[in-house]
C-alpha cells in the first residue's frame, strides 16, 4: 500500500487523539471511582500524578532509545500500550480485591503509551516536507484538544444512553482508536527528523545553554497551568459547584478543550502575524485571571466560564514553546523534543498533584487557587527569555 505524507499527518493527529483519551478519560470518572470504589481525593490525585510521572520517565528514557529503535517502532509501541491500558481500565479493577490497584496498573500501562506519543509524534511532524513547520505543529497540538472534546462529548452520550453504571465498557470502546491507529502507523511513510542524527546537538551541549533551561521552565509551567485545571474541572464542577455531571462536563472541561483547540488553530493559521513572546506573556496573565474567576466567582456558571477561559489561555503555551525551541535549536533533534516533553510532563504531573494535595487539606477552591503559581512563573520565564542574550526570533514561525 502506497500512502502519502498526508496519511502520516493523519496518523499523528490520531496519535494525539489517543493521548487525549488516556489523559482525560479517567478524570471524567473520578466521582464514579469515589462513589463505587470508595477512593479518596489523595488517591485520585495520585492517579493523575502517576500518569504524568510515568510519561515523564518514558520521556527521559526515550532520549536514548527512540533513535535506536526508530520512529515507526516507537509509534507502534505507543499505540499498543494506549489500547492495552484502556482495555485494562475497563475490567481490571473488578478482578482485584483492591480496585484501586487495578486502576493503578491500567493507568501505568497507558501512561507508557502516552509518554511515547508525546516524544515521537512532534518530531515525525517536524520531519515532514512542509513549508511552515510552526503551523503544522500548532495544528497538530490542536488535535489533542479535539480528542479531549470528543472524549467529553461522546462519553456523556454513552452515560446518557447506556448509563454511568456501565462505565466499565467505555474505556474498552475508546481503546479501539489507538488500536486502529496502530495499523495505520504500520504502513504510513515516516521520515527521520535529522537523518542518522549525525549533526544533532549533543544532549550535554544543550544542557549548557541557559536558553534551553528557560525553555524547560516554560514547558514545566505550561503543562502545570493546563493540567491543574483540566484534570480537576469535572470533579470541581460536580462536587464543588453542585451542578449536574453533564452540565459540569460540557461547560467545564469540554468548553476548556474547545477554546484551547480554537486558540491553537487560530495561531497556527496566523504564524506570520503573531509575536509569540508577547502572546505567551498575555496568555500567562489571562491564565491567572481565569483561575481567579473560577475560584472567587459567586455564581457556578461564571466559575465554569473561568475554567473555559483557562483553556483559551493555555492553548498556545505548549506548541509555542516547542516552536521557539525548534527555531533556537534547529539541530536539537529527537533528544531536544524528548527533554522538552519530559519537562512538560513534569508540570502535568506536579500541577494536578499539588491541587489534589491542597484540596484534600483546605478545600476544593483553595486547591484550584494554588495552581495560579504556574502561569505566574511562566510569565517570569517569558520575561527572562525576552531579555536573554540568546533571544530567539520574535515571530512564531
pLDDT value at position 200? 62
Q: 193 near 7, Cβ under 8 Å?
A: no
In a domain, 394, yes or no: no
Count: domains in the chain = 1
pLDDT value at position 326? 74
Q: 125 near 143, Cβ under 8 Å?
A: no
Residue 224's alpha-carbon distances to 29, 70, 78, 333, 344, in angstroms, are 21, 30, 23, 25, 8
- Separation between Cα atoms, residue 153 and residue 171, nearest integer Å: 14
pLDDT value at position 359? 84
The CATH number of residue 238's host domain is 1.20.1250.20
In a domain, 30, yes or no: yes
pLDDT value at position 274? 63
φ/ψ of residue 373, rounded to 5: -65, -25
- Separation between Cα atoms, residue 386 and residue 302, nearest integer Å: 34
Residue 330's CB: how many other CB atoms inside 10 A? Answer: 13
In a domain, 46, yes or no: yes
Q: 86 near 178, Cβ under 8 Å?
A: yes
In a domain, 395, yes or no: no
Q: Of 201, 136, 187, 145, which Cα lies nearest the Cα of 337?
A: 201
Domain holding 41, by residue range, is 5-387
pLDDT value at position 395? 40
In a domain, 201, yes or no: yes
In a domain, 200, yes or no: yes
pLDDT value at position 397? 36
Q: How big is the CA angle at 327 (ends 323 and 330), to the nearest 5 degrees?
A: 115
SS3 329: coil
In a domain, 16, yes or no: yes
Q: 231 near 284, Cβ under 8 Å?
A: no
φ/ψ of residue 298, rounded to 5: -80, -10
Q: 387 near 277, Cβ under 8 Å?
A: no
From the first residue on, what is the mean pLDDT of each consecutive set of 10 residues in the chain (397 residues)?
78 92 88 87 83 84 79 93 96 91 94 90 80 68 85 89 91 96 92 60 74 88 90 79 79 86 79 72 94 90 90 87 76 75 83 85 86 93 73 40
Residue 266's Cβ-count burial label (10 Å; 0-12, 13-18, 19+) is middle
In a domain, 314, yes or no: yes
Amino acid at each position: 500500500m502506497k500512502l502519502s505524507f498526508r496519511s502520516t499527518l493523519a496518523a499523528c493527529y490520531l496519535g494525539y487523539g489517543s493521548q487525549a483519551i488516556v489523559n482525560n478519560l479517567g478524570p471524567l470518572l473520578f466521582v464514579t471511582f469515589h462513589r463505587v470504589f470508595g477512593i479518596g481525593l489523595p488517591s485520585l490525585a495520585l492517579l493523575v500524578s502517576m500518569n504524568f510521572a510515568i510519561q515523564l520517565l518514558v520521556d527521559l528514557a526515550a532520549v536514548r532509545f527512540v533513535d535506536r529503535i526508530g520512529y515507526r517502532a516507537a509509534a507502534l509501541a505507543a499505540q499498543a500500550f494506549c489500547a492495552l491500558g484502556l482495555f485494562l481500565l475497563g475490567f481490571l479493577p473488578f478482578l482485584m480485591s483492591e480496585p484501586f490497584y487495578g486502576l493503578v496498573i491500567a493507568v501505568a500501562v497507558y501512561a507508557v503509551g502516552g509518554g511515547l506519543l508525546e516524544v515521537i509524534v512532534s518530531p515525525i511532524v517536524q520531519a515532514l516536507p512542509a513549508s511552515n513547520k510552526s503551523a503544522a505543529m500548532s495544528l497538530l497540538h490542536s488535535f489533542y484538544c479535539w480528542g479531549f472534546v470528543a472524549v467529553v462529548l461522546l462519553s456523556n452520550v454513552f452515560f446518557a444512553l447506556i448509563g454511568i453504571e456501565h462505565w466499565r465498557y467505555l474505556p474498552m470502546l475508546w481503546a479501539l482508536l489507538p488500536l486502529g491507529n496502530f495499523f495505520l502507523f504500520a504502513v504510513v511513510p515516516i521520515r527521520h527528523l535529522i537523518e542518522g542524527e549525525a549533526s544533532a546537538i549533543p544532549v550535554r551541549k544543550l544542557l549548557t545553554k541557559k536558553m534551553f533551561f528557560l525553555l524547560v521552565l516554560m514547558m514545566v509551567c505550561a503543562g502545570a497551568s493546563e493540567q491543574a485545571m483540566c484534570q480537576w474541572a469535572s470533579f470541581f464542577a460536580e462536587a464543588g459547584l453542585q451542578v449536574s455531571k453533564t452540565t459540569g462536563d460540557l461547560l467545564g472541561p469540554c468548553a476548556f478543550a474547545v477554546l484551547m483547540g480554537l486558540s491553537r488553530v487560530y495561531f497556527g493559521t496566523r504564524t506570520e502575524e503573531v509575536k509569540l513572546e508577547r502572546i505567551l506573556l498575555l496568555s500567562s496573565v489571562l491564565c491567572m485571571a481565569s483561575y481567579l474567576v473560577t475560584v472567587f466567582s459567586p455564581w457556578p456558571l461564571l466559575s465554569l466560564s473561568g475554567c473555559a477561559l483557562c483553556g483559551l489561555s493555555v492553548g498556545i503555551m505548549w506548541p509555542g514553546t516547542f516552536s521557539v525551541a525548534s527555531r533556537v535549536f534547529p539541530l536539537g533533534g529527537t533528544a531536544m523534543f524528548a527533554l522538552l516533553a519530559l519537562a512538560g510532563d513534569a508540570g502535568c504531573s506536579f500541577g494536578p498533584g499539588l491541587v489534589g494535595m491542597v484540596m484534600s487539606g483546605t478545600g476544593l477552591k483553595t486547591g484550584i487557587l494554588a495552581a495560579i503559581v504556574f502561569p505566574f512563573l511562566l510569565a517570569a520565564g517569558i520575561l527572562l527569555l525576552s531579555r536573554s542574550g540568546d533571544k530567539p526570533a520574535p515571530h512564531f514561525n
